Amino acid sequence: MRYLYLFIPILYMLASCTEEHREEELLQPRRTVLVYMAGDNNLSDETYIKADSITAGWHNRRDNLLIYRDARGGKGTPSLMRVVADDVNPRTEVVKEYPEDNSAGAEVFSGVVQDALSLYPAQSYGLLVFSHGTGWLPAGMFETPRSVSARSIMEDNGREMELADFAAAIPDHTFGFIVLEACLMAGVEVAYELRSKADYLVASSAEILSPGFSPVYPELINYLFEDDANLKGFIHRYYDYCNALPDVYRSATLSLIDLRAMDALAEVTRTVFEHTESKTMETGTVQSFDRGSHKLFFDFGDYMEQLNPALYPKVKSALSKAVLYKAATPSFVNVPIVRHSGLAVYMEQANYPELNRAYHRTAWYGAVSGNADDAEYADERGYMNE
């Protein structure tokens, strides 16, 4: 009997510890999401609209929603802000200010990411980036594909970041998802570069027309904080909004990409290339997402099917695992959208020799061409940082 009396308090203590542990789990933030706005450019005014729109819909008192904003000079100090939930008046409070610098620089971007992770730890993390984007393309080549330059994503007062630098600045296997509110970022080249940076990517094969996500941000931001981030709902709500707009404003493409499936997609693509005599095609025969005269962004599924119809079923199977959800309006401004596989791709063209050389320096090209470990390939990748 004496042993029984001793045992009862022990059981009580164990039950109390378990209960306390459960309470701690309930109180710990489930997710921290960083919204990174590189707006020291002609999108400066939009960063304020977007921040206000995001804040207006925030009523979550448990999780962490952070906004880093760098607007055009004279409109405030670059700051990391926390969105504070308030049923009457949601607001932002500055938690850290930064010196004027290049917000499209990898060092600045990496520093802000690290600050967000260290200041607001949580069970999971998400990243949303707003700025200019041209997919994998080096700076300037979107408008003049025959020029030579070195960078491709985000813009700060004319300075842009190379896609490889953007990826390198993001810690591996930290973010559950990355959302890119930037033009032309749903390319296989982008997704492959980011494959070890997050589980999922939300991005657009075409451009994103202003004002982008702003009108529906009060709803969209909350999809990112569901127990399992509702990225499909995020895409569908934006698509519904755009699809109801009149005339050319009824223009949108958006995809949910499983980055963990990109290695398998690269492997089957390499097999297709090994069994296909030529990888070049007439650009006018493949679905393009470009509004201008330069055709640089093509539908990956359409391209692969026309390239090798016999092997396309293998590609289609891998593609179905990589693209979990996609939505597109019937056209994008002046471009009919007949095919939308959810991923875009570049096709090498004789008219753009310098762009072709730049393409050979992408990680995707290295994977599908078999040149990833070649010395020449490594040298070319280094050239991108000159």
What is the reported pLDDT for 141? 54
Given a cut of 50, the residues of the chain with pLDDT beneath it are 1-8, 11, 20-24, 146-151, 373-386
Q: Is 181 exposed, middle or buried (0-12, 13-18, 19+ CB in 10 A)?
A: buried
Burial state string for 280-310 with b = 16 or more CB within 10 A and e = fewer than 16 = ebeeeebbbbbeeebbbbbbbbbbbbbbbee
Positive or negative, the CA dihedral 43, 45, 46, 52 is positive
Let me know: does 372 contact 381? Beta carbons within 8 Å. Answer: no
Q: What integer best gives the mean pLDDT of the chain? A: 87
What is the reported pLDDT for 28? 86
In terms of Cα–Cα distance, which of 77, 64, 78 is closest to 34?
64
The partner residues of 326 in beta bridges, in order of sequence, read 255
Alpha-carbon torsion angle 21, 32, 106, 133, nearest 10: 150
Strand 124-130 versus strand 31-39 pairing type: parallel
What is the reported pLDDT for 156? 81
- Containing 247, the helix (H) or strand (E) segment is none
What is the reported pLDDT for 61? 94
What is the reported pLDDT for 143? 56
Domain boundaries, the chain: 28-386
The pLDDT tens digits of the residues spanning 101-122 come to 888 899 999 999 999 999 999 9
Letter for the amino acid at 374? D
What is the reported pLDDT for 3? 46
What is the reported pLDDT for 155? 80
